[in-house]
Amino acid sequence: MVIKPKVRGFVCVTAHPAGCAAHVQEWIAHVKSQPPLARGPKKVLVIGSSTGYGLASRVTAAFGPGAATLGIFFERPSEEGRTATPGWYNTIAFTKAAHAAGLYAKNINGDAFSADIKRQALDLIRADLGQVDLVIYSLASPRRTHPVTGAVHKSVLKPVGQSYTNKTVDTDKGIVSTITIEPANEQEIADTTTVMGGEDWEMWMQALSEAKLLAPGAQSVAYSYIGPEVTWAIYKNGTIGLAKNDLERAARNIDSLLKLHHGGGRACISVNKALVTQASSAIPVVPLYISILYKIMKAKGTHEGCIEQMQRLFATQLYAPTGPKFDAAGRIRVDDWEMRPEVQSAVKEIWPGTTTENLAELTDIAGYRSEFMKLFGFGLPGIDYEADTEPHVPII
């Protein structure tokens, strides 16, 4: 079939296999263009490995230090007349490239929150890798079926305590409007923490530890976001921010576990930059902030995408000869360039004046849109988007 983009609100319901593969190749090329790491991980488990920061972490680990990787993700295969999700095609492209480079790469597609997928992963690690020395936890999910109670919890992106009114942009239509979001109730706050907080990460790490599948000195890292005041009501102080506080709580527990039982290992949170991913495009207000941020950071020459962020995280923090530098709360900050005062004061200056009419001029909405389309494999150079394309490709 000829595969064209079909954008519905903040998702694209189609994905292009060759375009996704070209996107993954761009990321691999970036990692290969960087100086090799003096040291790096050897055997890596990536939970949430098919798109965004998790995929970028996997590409960095594999094509930098040449690590063996096991990827866990939840993607939908193609059906009659329907393409697979982009993470499906990304994973196939990554795995083919890794195998061509002589690297171990295996995948498990299924619900990482479930006991069954954890068991499958543990069995595969035991059989193939022996132990892992790095665990990346990069899930972004709208729901979680709790493995013990069977209850289904849904996460919401809402303010806490009071309603929040601010500008937002419909990135597809290019319309700037004012949005008011009502505060979450207690149940929604608790549910969001159950989905996006740290309990599942702890379950993974405890299971790996008990099964003796963590190498001495093993590290684990999960990702968070803080951002500027203009987004705090919906992010840092909202339901997702409270869930991220719980992720930080889990990081401290896992850090103690690794230090005590795994030869001085370490767990921490890395606070990453706001970027266009499937997860971030669903958050109200944030896409307008990202469009302004991209404009400013591109002009300053400091703009990074997922792969540049993760390459920098590995090279200058996780595997830096001097070790990571932590902020006062014990977190790694690769959002440091985003949070520079001169970048944030420029955002503050632009924000109030943005309208539908001047959106293209004051913000990088064009860059936002092209990044968004690339997530689904569209707009990549060298791809013939008129060509008949096979959407049904088995996962490797």
Catalytic residue list: 235
Please state, in angstroms and rounded to a whole number, the distance separating the CA atoms of residues 104 and 377: 25
Closest CA to 103 of 62, 136, 64, 49: 62
Contact, 297 vs 340, CB < 8 A? Answer: no
The strand ranges marked E within the chain are 7-8, 11-12, 43-47, 68-73, 105-109, 132-137, 143-145, 152-154, 164-170, 175-181, 214-224, 266-271, 332-333
| One residue of 72, 97, 189, 293 binding ligand NAD per CB under 6 A | 72
Give me the residue whose beta carbon is nearest to ligand NAD: 52
List, in sequence order, every beta strand (DSSP E) within 49-202: 68-73, 105-109, 132-137, 143-145, 152-154, 164-170, 175-181
With CB under 6 A as the contact rule, which of the stretches 8-16, 45-53, 360-368, 379-387 interacts with ligand NAD? 45-53
Cα distances (Å, whole numbers) of residue 254 to 153, 200, 224, 257: 23, 11, 16, 5
Least distance (Å) between residue 313 CB and ligand NAD:
11
Residues in 116-155 that interact with ligand NAD by CB under 6 A: 138-141
Which residues, 6+ apart, have CB-to-CB distance to 154 below 8 Å? 142, 143, 191, 195
75 counts as binding ligand NAD under rule CB under 6 A: yes
Query: Tokens representing 367?
Result: 């860059």
Q: Which of residues 180-239 bind ligand NAD (CB under 6 A)?
A: 223-225
Is residue 291 a contact residue for ligand NAD (CB under 6 A)? Answer: no
Instruction: Provide φ and ψ at 154, rounded to 5°.
Output: -115, 135
Least distance from C-beta 111 to ligand NAD, angstroms? 4
Could you tell me where the beta strands, DSSP code E, fall in 43-113? Answer: 43-47, 68-73, 105-109
Shortest distance in whole angstroms from residue 192 CB to ligand NAD: 12
Indicate whether 49 belongs to the interface with ligand NAD (CB under 6 A): yes
Does 368 bind ligand NAD (CB under 6 A)? Our answer is: no
User: CB of residue 360 vs ligand NAD: minimum separation in angstroms?
Assistant: 22
CB 371 within 8 A of CB 280: no
Residue with smaller CB distance to ligand NAD, 279 or 362: 279
For residue 311, state whether it binds ligand NAD (rule: CB under 6 A).
no
Tell me the per-residue interface mask from 51 to 70 with ligand NAD, x by CB under 6 A, - otherwise: xxxx----------------
Determine, following the binding rule CB under 6 A, whether residue 112 of this chain makes contact with ligand NAD.
yes
Question: Per CB under 6 A, does 267 bind ligand NAD?
Answer: no
- Choosing from 74, 201, 289, 378, the residue that interacts with ligand NAD (CB under 6 A) is 74
How many residues belong to the chain? 396
Stretch that binds ligand NAD, among 43-51, 166-174, 183-191, 382-390 (CB under 6 A): 43-51
Of the ranges 109-117, 318-326, 337-345, 348-356, which one interacts with ligand NAD (CB under 6 A)?
109-117
Chain positions contacting ligand NAD, by CB under 6 A? 48-54, 72-75, 87, 111-113, 138-141, 223-225, 272, 274-275, 277-280
